[in-house]
Structure formats: C-alpha cells, structure tokens
Amino acid sequence: MSASSSQPYNPFRVAQQQLDEAARLLQLDAAVHELLRWPMRELHVTLPVRMDDGTVRIFQGFRVQYNDARGPCKGGIRYHSEETVDTVRALAAWMTWKTAVMDLPLGGGKGGIICDPKQLSPGELERLSRAYIRQVGRILGAEADVPAPDVYTTPQIMAWMVDEFSYQRGYTEFGMITGKPLALGGSAGRGDATARGGMYCLREAAKAHQVDLRGATTAIQGYGNAGSFAHKLGAELLGLKVVAVSDSRGGIYNPDGLDYEAVLAHKQRTGSVVNFPGAQPVSNAELLELDVQVLIPAALENAIHQENCERIKARFIAELANGPTTPEADAVLFAKKAVVLPDFLCNAGGVTVSYFEMVQNAYGYYWDEDEVHQRLDQRMTGAFWKVHEVARQHGVDYRKAAYLVAVSRVAEAVRLRGWA
Amino acid sequence: MSVIPPESSKILEIYLLLAQYPMLASSIRRRMREELFQRGIISPERFEQEIREKAIESQKREGLGDEQRPEDSERWELRYHRIRRILTDFYFAYNLPIELLHKIVDDVLADRGGERPPVGSEISLRFNPELAPLEMVLRQAEAYESLPPEQRAQVQHHLEELRVVLLKSLLSDQLGFIRIAKRWFTAADFSYIIRHRIGSGKIGGKAAGMLLAYKILQATVPQLAERITLPRSYFIGADVFYDFLALNDLEYVNQKYKSDEQIRQDYPLIQEKYAGGRFPEEIADQLRDLLREVGNTPLIVRSSSLLEDNFGASFAGKYLSVFCPNQGSLKENLRDLTLAIRRAYASIYNPDALSYRRRMGLIDYDERMAILIQEVQGQPYRGKYFPSAAGVAYSFSPIVWNPRLRREEGFARLVVGLGTRAVERTPNDYPRLIGLSHPNLRPEVTPQAIRQYSQHQMDVIDLQSNALVTLPVQEVLGTDFPALRWVISVDDGETIRPPLTLGLSLQPSQFVVTFERLLQTDFVPLLRNILSRLAEEYHSAVDVEFALTIQPGEGGKPDLKFHLLQCRPHHSWNADLAVRLPEGVRDEDVIFVSNRMVPLGVVEGVEYIVFVDPEKYYRLPSAHDFSETARRIAQINRALEGKNFVLIGPGRWGSTDFMQGVPVTYADIFNTRALIELTSRKGGYASEPSYGTHFFQDLVESGIFPLAVSAEEEDDYLNLAFLRRATDQRSVWIEENSAALECIKVIHLPAERPAHRLEIRMDGKKGMGYLRPAE
C-alpha cells in the first residue's frame, strides 16, 4: 500500500489501494470494484458564521456519503484546520468497510469543517455547528446519513446539532446523530464501548487459538479513553495481568502488574501515568517490545513498523488505535504467527454502540448498560468468527480477511440493489 | 569618665517620662521644640545646625564616616534623628519647667498626636528637607496638605520637595520611581509606612511597587476603590539587615566577587550561618507585637530588596518568599517568623541572584534586604487556608496562541489556592491561561484536553499541621466551598460545564478547575481596567500579582474582592523585562525572521539547530516514515539533553495528522528551547501554523517558545541556504540511517561559524534568530 514516492502522501489513494488489494483477492467484478473505489455522493458547503465581535466569517465544510448500499451512511464529523476532501473520502471509505465487517445495516460516510476549533469561543463553536446542520441537514437523517463525534467534536456539539436539525424538521429526531449526551438520547455503555468491544474480540481470538489468557501479561500503549478502559476491562473480563502502560509522556512497567484504580488516580492527579510509584519507567518504544503475551496499541498510528516488528514478542496484538501497524510490519507479524486483531474490527465497539443508539432512538426505548454490553458481545463475537473463518479459508491475516468480509458484503448489497 | 551636667537628673526625668509613651514620644518632643522655638530659647535654624554639628562630632568620635568616607544617607539620618531627640531633651531640661512637659503630655494625650499645625506652618519652608529629620519633613508635609487650596497652591513646590524627600528616605531613590510616585503619595501614606515599619531604612522595591500601584488604582478608578484592597502589611526597614549582620558577625561575608563555583559551594554554609543569627532585641519586640496584632492569620515573608523591582532589574524569583502558617504558640510563631526573615536575608547570596546581578551590571551595588511581611489573603476552609483564586496578570500578553487574541488587552494565569502555582512554572499542572481580550478562547477544545490541561494540585496552608502543603484540588474542595460555582466545571464524562446545581450528586472527582463562570462575571473587565490604568500611569507594560476573594453575592452574582500583592513595570525601569531586537545584523547571520504571534522573550546561546527539511519530509514514501521522523526527533531530543538547541521543521509540530507536521508529542521535544514551524500554501505543506497548540500549556510551563515562519508572509524569512549548506552532524548522535533520518539535520552552529551561537530575540511583534559571537 506504499504510495508512490514521487508524489506526496494522499490518504484517499491509500484507501483505494487497500480496496484494490481486496478486490484482487476476491476477483471482484470490475464494475462493482470501480463503483466501490469512489464516493457515491459529496456535499460541499459554505458556512457563514457570526463571530463574537459581530463580524461574519465564512467556513467550508463537506459531507461525503461513500456508500449506502447496506443502509444509512454512518461516520463522524471532524473539525480540523487542515481538513481536505481526500482525507474525508478516505475515512468515509474506511467507515463503509468497518460497518460492513461488523455486519451493521449501515453504510459509510464522513464529514468535516475546515476550522481551528482552538480559535473559536464556545458560542462561535455552537453557531458554526448549527450552520453546518443548516446546510448539510438536507442530506442527513436517521434513514439517510447519521453523523457522530470525531476529531474535536464532542457530545455537546452533537447536542447542538440534533437541536438544530430538530428545529428544521419541526420535531425532535434523536436518531439523526449519535454520540449524544446521555440526557439527550445517548446510549448507555458508550464510554467504554471501544475497549470493551476490543476485549470481547481478544477473548474470542484466544479461544480460536486455544490460549488461556487468564494472567496473561499485557502491555497497553496509550492511556486515553480506549487504553485506560482496556486496562480496566482486560483485567475484569479476561483476567489479563497488565504489566505496562504508557501515555504521551512515557510509560511505566511493573512485572508484578499495575492496579487500574491506582494508575488512573495517579494519572488524574498528575496528568500522566509516568512516575507511578513502584513501577519502572519505559519509553513508548520499549513498551512495544516488552516480553508480554498481549500488546494493545491504543494511541499512535504506525507504532509497529518495519524496524521494531521483529522485536515484538506479544502473541496477541489488539489494535484499539487506528492504523497502529504498517503493512510491512503486518507481513512480518503474520510470518511470526502473531495474532493481529485489526483496528477496524477490534475497535469497532464504538460504532456498534452508535448503531445501538440509533436503534434505541428509533424504538424510543432505552436499554440498560447490561443489555448494551450483552448485545455488543454478540456483535463482536459474530464479527470475529466470520473474519476468522475467512482468514482460514484464504490463508491470510485477519486484516486482509476483514477487508474480504467487508468488501464482499458491500459488493453483495450493491449487486442486489442492481447498481452493478 | 565624662562630666555629668548638673541638670542630668532632669534630663533623666524627661527621658523616663517619655519612655512611657513610645508611640507618642515623637509628637511630644515636637511640641517641646515648639515651646523652645516660640519662647525664643533657640531658633529652629540654630537648633538644626547644632544637631548637624553634634552629628559630625559624633561621627568622628565613633570613627564611622568622615568627609572621605561619608556615611550613607540613611545612617546619617538615623544619627541625626537620635541627636535631635537628645538635644530636645537637653534644651528643655535646661530652660523650661518639668510641669510644662506634663502639660504638653496631657495635651498630646488629649488629641493623640494632635492636629495642631506645628510652628512655622505658615507658608515658607524654614529648613532644608534633605537634611532635616524625617519626622519634621512629614509634619511639614501634613501641615501643607491641610492648607486650604489657595494657600496650598503657593507651597506646592515645597510640598513636592517634601514628598520626594520622604519617598527617597522611605521607599526608593530610583528616579523613575520617584517621578511617578510623587504624584500619588500623600503624607498620610508616609505616616502609614512609618507606623508599619519595623526598624529604620527603606522598605525596598517590592513593597514600594505594591504601594504605588495601590495608590494609583485608588485614585484613578474610584468606583472600584473598595473592591481593590491591600493585605495588611509590615515593613522591616533595610537598615535592620545591617544591624543583623553586625550583631551576628556576618558583615565580613563577602561573596559577590567570588567565582560562581565558590559562590555555589559556600551558599549552604551561609544559609546555615544566617539561620542561626539573632535579631536586635527591639526588633524582636516589635515582631512579637506584630504577631500579637495579627493573631493566627497566616503570614508571608517576602524579600523586598533595594535592588528588587527597582534599578532596572526585576529579580523575579531570585530572592526568597517564605510562608509562615502562624498557627503555633506566640513563641513558636516568632521563631518561625524570624527564621523566615533570616532565610530571606540569606537569599541575598543565592548563587542565582548573584549571577543575575553580575549579568545586569548590579554586582557592585551595596544590596540590602528589606522585608515585606503580609497577611496571606485567604479564608479558612475545612482546616486549610487559601484564597478563592490567585494569579499573575500582564498588561501586555507575553504569549499568544491564537491570532484573535489582542495582546495589548493583557493576559492572566489563574489558579485556585495560593498564587505560587500561577507565578511559578508547574510542569504537568496547569493554571488557567486567560487572554483578556477573549477570555473564552483557550488552547484546548475537547473535554479530555481541558481536563488534562487544568490545575490538578493546589497550594494551601494546612492550619492543623501548621505547614504549607500541596494537595489535589479534588481532595481540598467540596460542594460547600463558597466560591465553587465560579472556580470549577463539572466533568460528566461527556461534557465539561459549569455546575447547574450544587446538589449532593456532585462529586469532587468530577471537578475540573476552569474558572468558566468567573470569566463570565465582571472579573475580566475589572482586571483589564486595573492593568490598563497601571500601564498608563507607569508608561510601561506591567505585571501584577493578586489574590481574589469570591463569595456568593446578591442575585447569583459573586462578590469579588481583588487583593493587590505586587506590581512591576516592564520597560521604563526593568531593562531585563523589555526585549529589543538587535540592529545591524548582517544578512548572512540572520537565520529566520517571524512576524505573527511572536512571544516576548530571549533565547540565548543556542548551540544546535535540529532542522527537518520540509521538501524531504513531504516526499517521504510511506506513512511509517512520518511516524519514524517523530521517533527520531524524540531520540535526538534525548541525545541533546542539556545542550542548547532549537527545532525547525515543516508545518504543525505535534499534529496527529503527519501531513500537517511531524507527529511528535510533548515528551518527544521537551528539551528544545524553541519550536519553529515552517508553513506555506504550496501543495503538501500545512498552511496554518499551530504555534504549539497541541501542547501549548506544556510549552508555556517549560518556557519553550513557539514561533512560525510563513513562506507567504512578506517580512518572514528563513535562511534556507544556510540550513541546507550546513554540515550535518547527525551521525555524531545517531549512527543508523533511514529515509526518515535523511530529512533530519543536526547543525552544530560553532562548527559553521566559529565561536558563534544562535540567539532568538522576540519583542512581542517580531522575532529574529541570528548568529552572534558567543559570550
């Protein structure tokens, strides 16, 4: 998937190359393949926003509906000062495969506004968010396209958006967006959904490989939402012994295990996990190479790469971060028989609970946390075994298998609809 | 043995009688002199002349100062004052009946110091204020000030002279200070200072700065006058420092001309010697009185040296401030208080302070330490004592993270608890940064970032353990904290918002210090008003330390009290706080020029430039190479630890999107002195710099300057030819090779230009990095 070295890196081209690879393995019909290489629809909008000082500033935004063959588009809205439509296209494609691999009745989409939210006051941010919905609202809706939080967008922003949309329609439509605050149609169990889904997936992978993970030494890179909940739930659900964790300041290691509550309290008090009493320091790079059974990259892109992949000792790698392993490293790890649970399967707990949020909004009936957990477990378990089966059949790693599952599902829907 | 004069018993009687009125004795003696003058026993002029003669004789007798080695003005003044007292008693005893003295005492007691104008309060000034005793000058000033306006106009020139003399004697002889201060100080202020002064001598720069700022604010913003207060303050005169040295045989400790190494080596021993020193008995008595007066209110002992905030130097953080929780017995509290003073005294030999003086050309000055003792502003809460909020504010923002912020409207760092955490840099803990033009704009957006970059710890006085402690905010504050609503927001896991209710469901673990509600009150306009008034009167940017008391007031609004703790002007006197750009730098020596959002500051003696070549970076073949660039930068950051280096590279340092810049985290770059971003609207590049906003607060707390050089900004400049031509010394630090490493160059500046270093000067508008000979 390496981009040609003579041109600057283009994320959309990389996404197309990933599809091309899967299409080749699937010997996909040429017309379907060509259709899937491009977004179905894009809306480019211009947003006038009244600033606090009375002046008006004009912002540009997008919404890309990559593919809705399987159902309404699903994907976040990013606020980013250097947003490009190619980035949004690539991410929308990726969402299409992610919802498909999870077998959710959804397509893929993504949106964005070119803005630096750090330069906006809360009032301006609200007016910008409402302006976006005023323009893009015409193609959104619970049955059409359902956005969610993403880079620099928050539950509060989702709340403003659902309010603006409902105002346009004349009635409240909670299901048009997910990631809303709990008090405004949000779903229980969203907080730890990504990590929880990843742990269910890891549990099934261990079963598939006949490994008992109780007491398995574990290292977690990243201690944001996903990483810290992986620490908690890994211990709680799977009995993992987490011996190392890290954040952007560095890492800590204690071969006797690290207590979740104590580390979290330390991080909340000091802003970082480093200097946690009784643990020895490790760098983020060293953490990856520790002699552990489970490695959970939950922070950086391209953390596992050509240079260090030979030294990775973990048998299971559960990707909670997006894109933590480079293609070159994938090949090496596969040859080493390491089990890599690819990001768009392993971290799909978040989008799955987003889907649950839509379902609950549609029902107007809300589940308790246990019910959310139970249904998430079902979904993750089902998705894993399907990927596992395809990986066996084709003799490929889980990442390629997940692509094969996803692309064939979307292709099937496209065919049934008679698009190609 | 000297001859005892026949009237000595009467002199003794007068002395003993007046000893019973320690505070009123000065007024009584003034009245005694008035009687002597009125009855023609001696003229005021003759009297003053005799004092001078006797003073000079006594100098000779004591061998302290002569024409070749004159005593300094304060010692002379003390001598003059004492002889004046003796001569008053002497003339009275010889010439007037003791009954008259009793009557004078009764009169003075009746009006407690009296409003009666002294003799000669008529228009003309009949003595030389420069030579006259302080009290005489003060009385005369009081008399002039009490004149009706027309008469007062006639003596305005005298009054100004008297005020200048009083300023010089009590506050500062720095001309810049006097020029401004003489407009604001009145006799009542000098009288206040004298009443609160312990020992003689000036009260030092910090105390002077605080009082002047307070006077200006009281006069120029009368509508805010009652909301702006000064803490109850006491001043230990600078002469006490000499007495302390003399009493403890410390006069001969002379550190300042020793080598840096020697100074550092000796300092612990000096601290120990000072810590064991005794105070003159009368000073100890007065400190005891002070403690009785303040009760168990916590105190802070602050250095207020003569050089500090004064002769063009700020001395920020060079001398010591010590908290005295003051919760023990009187004896214990006195012990702690005097120890604190002794420690502040010893800090005059702090190696950092001495090297700073050398750098500022102040080493030859006979530095003396006055002390400012203040009640700590705050309230008791659950066994702790601290202010609702405290901080430091600047009339011109030294930093800016957003082009919308108007720097001339100022900037503040605000914390809950004692202001130490706002004044000092606190890595891993963050005061709220407030751009006063847009108080709602902050460098963080997401709830996670807001929580991370907030204040987690607070400094408080623990009343039980009688100590200054640092505790987690969530441990100290509860829902019953009176200022809670204005200090914290609530993190409900999804949003961070000011609390809607203060109900029982609120958990301290949800508290995030944001001051969100406070920033919606009139606090920001108040602070802006204060800063702009002071800057206007000082003709210079200023910084102000303050504490706030926030109490629930009427209609849901807070009742705000602003406690002024310190004020320092930047430009007119404090040369080191003003930055000037160099002139006449040769073109080939300029490395870069930046014109947008430039901070205030100087980075000196930079030995290395670590340069990430944008052309090469944006042509890296795979995603992994971008991440590797970040890892390699981290490796170089570690390797160059302790060296002086800056980073120059493409786009937004710290962006998670590697196409926008090298995706480093703060932990990868924390040793650098400056972070320079190269932007361009050309394809591939990031067009907008981030100014380090991905970890802006970390940069602020570590003193790392973010700068941007734009290809499109007409006056911006990057000496790409120099950076490209320079020899790459990377292999000295990293042996391996890879595509990512190919775009990183480590330039050793002295190797390119022998004996040169990079200096970056930033004046708030423009920044320039240029090569200059190493010092």
In a domain, A309, yes or no: yes
What's the order of all strands across the beta sheet hosting B496-497?
Answer: B496-497, B488-491, B511-513
pLDDT in tens, B498-511: 998 887 788 898 99
In a domain, A324, yes or no: yes
Among residues A313, A337, A361, the one where a domain terminates is: A337
Active-site annotation holds for A118: no
pLDDT in tens, B697-713: 888 877 889 999 998 88
Q: How many CB atoms lie within 10 A of CB B276?
A: 11
Binary contact (A225, B448; C-beta < 8 A): yes
How is chain B split into domains, by residue range? 8-172, 234-376, 408-576, 580-773
pLDDT in tens, B652-702: 898 877 878 898 888 889 899 999 999 887 766 777 788 877 788 888 877
Q: What percent of chain B has pLDDT over 90?
A: 46
Q: Give the Cα separation of B651 and B673 in Å (integer).
A: 18
The DSSP-derived string for B590-635 is: EEEEE-SS--EEEEEEE-EEEEE-HHHHTT-SSHHHHHHHHHHHHH
Name the residue facing B627 among A5, A191, A300 (closest C-beta): A300
Mean pLDDT of B507-520: 94
For residue A271, the one-letter residue type is: G
CATH number corresponding to B408-576: 3.30.470
For residue A57, the one-letter residue type is: R
Q: At what angle do helices A85-101 and A11-26 cross, to 10 degrees?
A: 30
Best mean pLDDT range from A26-30, B304-308, B400-404, B452-456: A26-30
Q: Return the half-sphere exposure (C-beta side, CA atoms, 13 A cut-off) of residue B239.
A: 20
| Predicted pLDDT of residue B626 | 85
Cβ contacts of B759 within 8 Å, gap of 6 or more: B582, B602, B603, B604, B605, B606, B769, B770, B771, B772
| Predicted pLDDT of residue B67 | 65
Q: Give the Cα separation of B13 and B5 in Å (integer).
A: 14
Element (H, E) at B303: strand B299-305
Parallel/antiparallel/unpaired status of strands B744-748 and B600-606: unpaired
| Predicted pLDDT of residue B119 | 44
Phi, psi of B415 (to 5 degrees): -135, 160
| Predicted pLDDT of residue B123 | 61
**Do the beta carbons of residue B706 and residue B675 sit within 8 Å?**
yes
**Structural domains in chain A (count):** 2
Among residues A337, A367, A398, the one where a domain terminates is: A337
Tokens read off for A170: 């004349």
For residue A157, the one-letter residue type is: I
Binary contact (A117, B667; C-beta < 8 A): no
Specify which residues B649 forms β-bridges with. B677
The DSSP-derived string for A302-360 is: T-B-TTTGGG---SEEE--SSS-B-HHHHHHHHHTT-EEE-HHHHTTHHHHHHHHHHHH
Mean pLDDT of B106-128: 63
Chain A residues in contact with B435 (beta carbon < 8 A):
none
List the single best residue of A182, A301, A330, A369 to mutate versus B (max B Cβ within 10 A).
A301
List the single best residue of B622, B677, B701 to mutate versus A (max A Cβ within 10 A).
B622
Name the residue facing B688 among A11, A82, A186 (closest C-beta): A82
Cα B1 from chain centre: 52
Chain B residues in contact with A285 (beta carbon < 8 A):
631
Alpha helix ranges (H) inside B453-522: 473-476, 484-487
Nearest to B397 by CA among B662, B98, B764: B764
Distance from CA of A283 to the nearest CA of B (A): 10
Mean pLDDT of B550-575: 82
pLDDT in tens, B474-484: 999 999 999 99
Binary contact (B429, A8; C-beta < 8 A): no
Among residues A322, A337, A352, the one where a domain terminates is: A337
Chain B residues in contact with A223 (beta carbon < 8 A):
none
Using the Cα atoms of residue B254, residue B255, residue B259 and residue B263 in order, give the sign of their dihedral: positive
**Do the beta carbons of residue A79 and residue A153 sit within 8 Å?**
yes
Distance from CA of B425 to the nearest CA of A (A): 15
> Of A110, A180, A241, A267, which residue is the catalytic one?
A110
Same domain, A117 and A233: no
Query: B12 pLDDT band (50/70/90 cuts)?
Result: confident
| Predicted pLDDT of residue B5 | 59
Phi, psi of A212 (to 5 degrees): -90, 115
In a domain, A413, yes or no: no
B197 versus B4: which is more confidently predicted? B197
> Nearest residue on chain A to B681, judged by CA atoms?
A82
**Do the beta carbons of residue B439 and residue B519 sit within 8 Å?**
yes
Cβ contacts of B205 within 8 Å, gap of 6 or more: B172, B304, B305, B306, B307, B308, B309, B310, B315
Binary contact (B443, A118; C-beta < 8 A): yes
B308 pLDDT more than 80? no
**Do the beta carbons of residue A99 and residue A155 sit within 8 Å?**
no
Same domain, A155 and A221: no
Cβ contacts of B704 within 8 Å, gap of 6 or more: B669, B670, B672, B673, B674, B675, B692, B698
* CATH at A203: 3.40.50.720
For residue B195, the one-letter residue type is: R
In a domain, A154, yes or no: yes
> Nearest residue on chain B to A6, judged by CA atoms?
B619
**Gyration radius of chain A's alpha carbons:** 21
Binary contact (B494, A116; C-beta < 8 A): no
Measure the N-to-C terminal CA separation of chain A; round to a whole number of Å: 26
> Nearest residue on chain A to B475, judged by CA atoms?
A269
Element (H, E) at B370: strand B369-375
Same domain, A120 and A248: no
Binding site feature residues of A for substrate: 74, 98, 354
> Nearest residue on chain B to A325, judged by CA atoms?
B624
Name the residue facing A154 among B428, B446, B693 (closest C-beta): B446
Phi, psi of A73 (to 5 degrees): -65, 150
| Predicted pLDDT of residue B459 | 95
Specify which residues B322 forms β-bridges with. B301
3-class DSSP state for residue B311? coil
B278-283: list long-range contacts, CB under 8 Å, 24+ apart.
B278/B247, B278/B248, B279/B240, B279/B244, B279/B247, B279/B338, B279/B341, B280/B199, B280/B240, B280/B243, B280/B244, B280/B247, B282/B199, B283/B198, B283/B199, B283/B236, B283/B240, B283/B243
Same domain, A206 and A320: yes
Distance from CA of B656 to the nearest CA of A (A): 8
Mean pLDDT of B383-411: 91
The 3-class secondary structure across B648-701, one letter per residue, is EEEECCCCCCCCCECCCCHHHCCCCCEEEEEECCCCCCCCCCCCCHHHHHHHHH
* CATH at A96: 3.40.50.10860
Q: How many CB atoms lie within 10 A of CB B175?
A: 10
pLDDT in tens, A12-58: 988 898 899 999 999 999 999 999 999 999 999 999 999 998 999 99
Binary contact (B441, A119; C-beta < 8 A): yes
**Do the beta carbons of residue A76 and residue A153 sit within 8 Å?**
yes
Low-confidence ranges of chain A (pLDDT < 70): 1-9
Parallel/antiparallel/unpaired status of strands B608-612 and B744-748: antiparallel
> Nearest residue on chain B to A52, judged by CA atoms?
B438
pLDDT in tens, B199-243: 999 998 889 999 999 999 999 988 888 899 999 999 999 999 989
Q: Could you list the residue range(s) of the whole structural domain that residue A254 is in?
A: 193-337
| Predicted pLDDT of residue A411 | 97
Same domain, A311 and A208: yes
Name the residue facing B472 among A14, A224, A269 (closest C-beta): A269
Binding site feature residues of A: 74, 98, 194, 225, 354
In a domain, A395, yes or no: no
List the single best residue of B445, B513, B641 to mutate versus A (max A Cβ within 10 A).
B445
| Predicted pLDDT of residue B574 | 47
pLDDT in tens, B227-284: 999 999 999 999 999 899 989 988 777 788 888 788 888 888 888 999 999 999 999 9
B151 versus B337: which is more confidently predicted? B337
